[in-house]
A and B are shown apart, each in its own frame.
Chain A
């Protein structure tokens, strides 16, 4: 029955907090939580580490999680110490789960998160800093939101500039096509930032290849099955005039390759993005000409590490320069030439990373 006693004790504390809060609220600082740097709570010796991400059915997020697990192991903790929050593509669930996490562990949380949709980043960050916990984000963030506006609590944001690498894959593709012929692009969920950037990179490359003809652009929502169906449709519509396929992700490339395989087409140039193990394997076989590795393993570890070490006080985020708070993740172009070597180095085994060297692989 000790929990009742514990409850009474905590309750008195809470009531005090609540009174303070209401006084604060009545003073007019209604939006207090969002503003004001320096509300960072006491540093915690042993914060809980959590990763909030989209789903477990995707190799990309699996790599993220294994990175997170590697980091947790490096601290001498079992993998089960990493709390997984899966939002299943729902911003609402993402936010609600994070709120529950915060209400359970309060300020003692080091959170790594992909907020799922750009608008969701702000409420997540606000909730974390209100609780006095620490958060590092990747991918989705609106441009008007910056870590340095939240003191120490919003530790960092890492994203990847996909425009350049996507342009590189497109160039590999166009070269393989001999600089001429028709090409189609299969995009991700159209409103997702990576989908927009990867399409932009593709369009940039087109400018340099006047004889390449853009036949069609269509969203296949990162989905293998949908990409398969869209590709079949393209084959009917454009038939033999398709000489190359540019995919915004590996998962869609699989669907495309299978659609081609069903037609007995084995030599169509295809490029993709993300550098998943299966895709790298296909690059070694020459079935995909190029993909872009964003090192999700490292990203998964380092994002958690940033939040963790900020929470323990090992470093003070507000003392770091802006380029350490918002930075670009690594991108490595994998082509048929270097795929085997790349696979041996990054896929078959994961390199040992120093999880305290936060910006070791950052692009800038």
Chain B
């Protein structure tokens, strides 16, 4: 059967990284400095929180849903991490992760049990998380004590041989997520749910549980993203993670995980995040005027999505 596929179809799965390389080269043509390894490492490490959040969101989009609560969960996480740091130390990280997991699971239960579409349920749960963040922070920007921050999370802010530890952590997280996706039962089930949910149910799998799990994972990763961001900024505020949501969704979509589910995955998101990072940085390299940046971003986005998404498995484009 593979003989029937046209060249474009076979190339399709390679389009995301080809797009990434092309964008890199285009910016590199403008200024070769851009391609210097340490510059790329810096660029990548700036995007660590966004990457972590996008990786989590990948699971939800992979099963055909959407998670709009990530940003609010990250906001909540920055606050919870900051206020619990003096009492819990590294445990603050654990607390935050559990909080994210719970918030995500709530979205999942509301979506699967109460049959509220994820677009709405996650938006609503995001509102709840935001309220928790605002309440816990006393509606103030908080900052971490330097000594406590170094003691508990010093390992996260340092670098070894020019490689920031946060970047290493992010890559480990991506690797773990990738492992879950391709080598573990939940990942396989997510793929099957995205591809053909009725077949999953007819195979005797409790699909609902896995759907809840996907949302819970997304919530956990969003909290983790908030934690890393909070440690980097050594503080927390219920608005600190503003502006994460749309770039994270865009990163997943540009990477080639369409909203229909079952296609794409964590590695696509890694590439997608890098595309977003490069496109954003390119505005400085091409000296895009302040008022034109949004237009530039939107247009590049359309071009990128038009090239990266695999339409062969979409019967109806909605």
Direct contact of A and B (CB under 8 A): yes
**Residues of A bordering B, CB below 8 Å:** 3-4, 6-7, 10-11, 14, 17-18, 21-22, 25-26, 30-31, 56, 65, 80, 83-93, 95-97, 99-101, 103-104, 117-120, 122-123, 140, 142-144, 189-193, 196, 219
- Nearest A residue to B290 via CB reads A84
B22 at interface, CB cutoff 8 A: no
The answer to whether A117 and B240 touch across the interface, beta carbons within 8 angstroms, is: yes
The list of the 7 closest CB pairs from A to B, nearest first, reads A90-B243, A119-B235, A84-B290, A190-B139, A30-B158, A119-B233, A7-B32
Known: A93-B280, A99-B43, A103-B43. A118 touches B143 (CB 8 A): yes
The answer to whether A22 and B141 touch across the interface, beta carbons within 8 angstroms, is: no
From A22, A88, A190, contact of B161 by CB (8 A): A22
Bound-state CA distance A140–B50 (Å) is 23
CB contact list, B36-50 vs A, under 8 A: 36-39, 42-43, 46-47, 49-50
B244 at interface, CB cutoff 8 A: yes
The answer to whether B281 and A100 touch across the interface, beta carbons within 8 angstroms, is: yes
Chain A neighbourhood of B242, CB < 8 A? 89-91
Bound-state CA distance A75–B208 (Å) is 65
Known: A104-B34, A118-B235, A119-B236. A18 touches B162 (CB 8 A): yes
B11 CB to closest chain A CB (Å) equals 28
The answer to whether A119 and B243 touch across the interface, beta carbons within 8 angstroms, is: no
Q: Interface range on chain B: under 10, 10 to 19, 20 to 34, or 35 or more?
A: 35 or more
Bound-state CA distance A84–B284 (Å) is 9
Bound-state CA distance A193–B235 (Å) is 14
- Nearest A residue to B53 via CB reads A92
Chain A neighbourhood of B78, CB < 8 A? 119
Chain B neighbourhood of A144, CB < 8 A? 143, 146
Question: Which of B134, B140, B158, B284 has its CB near the most chain A CB atoms (within 10 A)?
Answer: B284
Known: A80-B289, A84-B290, A191-B137. A119 touches B33 (CB 8 A): no
Chain B neighbourhood of A31, CB < 8 A? 150, 154, 157-158
B237 at interface, CB cutoff 8 A: yes
The answer to whether A11 and B158 touch across the interface, beta carbons within 8 angstroms, is: no
Known: A6-B32, A25-B160, A122-B234. A92 touches B49 (CB 8 A): yes
Chain A neighbourhood of B50, CB < 8 A? 92
The answer to whether B140 and A191 touch across the interface, beta carbons within 8 angstroms, is: yes
Question: Which of B32, B47, B50, B142 has its CB near the most chain A CB atoms (within 10 A)?
Answer: B32
Bound-state CA distance A17–B39 (Å) is 12
Bound-state CA distance A86–B161 (Å) is 32
The answer to whether A96 and B284 touch across the interface, beta carbons within 8 angstroms, is: no
Chain B neighbourhood of A83, CB < 8 A? 284, 287
Bound-state CA distance A144–B103 (Å) is 33
Chain A neighbourhood of B162, CB < 8 A? 18, 21-22, 25
Bound-state CA distance A18–B163 (Å) is 10
- Nearest A residue to B30 via CB reads A3
B62 at interface, CB cutoff 8 A: no
CB contact list, B17-38 vs A, under 8 A: 29, 31-38
Bound-state CA distance A56–B293 (Å) is 11
B106 at interface, CB cutoff 8 A: no
B256 at interface, CB cutoff 8 A: no
The answer to whether A118 and B37 touch across the interface, beta carbons within 8 angstroms, is: no
The answer to whether A104 and B32 touch across the interface, beta carbons within 8 angstroms, is: no
Contact with A along B149-160 (1 / 0, CB 8 A): 010001001111
Known: A4-B32, A6-B32, A193-B141. A18 touches B38 (CB 8 A): yes
- Nearest B residue to A65 via CB reads B290
B133 CB to closest chain A CB (Å) equals 9
The answer to whether A89 and B243 touch across the interface, beta carbons within 8 angstroms, is: yes
Known: A83-B287, A100-B281. A11 touches B36 (CB 8 A): yes
CB contact list, B159-180 vs A, under 8 A: 159-162
The answer to whether A30 and B280 touch across the interface, beta carbons within 8 angstroms, is: no
B229 at interface, CB cutoff 8 A: yes
- Nearest B residue to A10 via CB reads B33
Question: Which of A4, A21, A100, A104 has its CB near the most chain B CB atoms (within 10 A)?
Answer: A100
List 12 interface pairs A-B (beta carbons < 8 Å), by A numbering. Answer: A14-B37, A17-B38, A30-B158, A31-B150, A56-B291, A92-B243, A93-B280, A104-B34, A119-B235, A119-B240, A122-B233, A143-B143
A114 CB to closest chain B CB (Å) equals 14
Chain A neighbourhood of B47, CB < 8 A? 96
Known: A97-B284, A103-B43, A191-B237. A26 touches B243 (CB 8 A): no
Chain B neighbourhood of A30, CB < 8 A? 154, 158-160
- Nearest B residue to A14 via CB reads B36
Contact with A along B44-87 (1 / 0, CB 8 A): 00110110000000000000000000000000001000000000
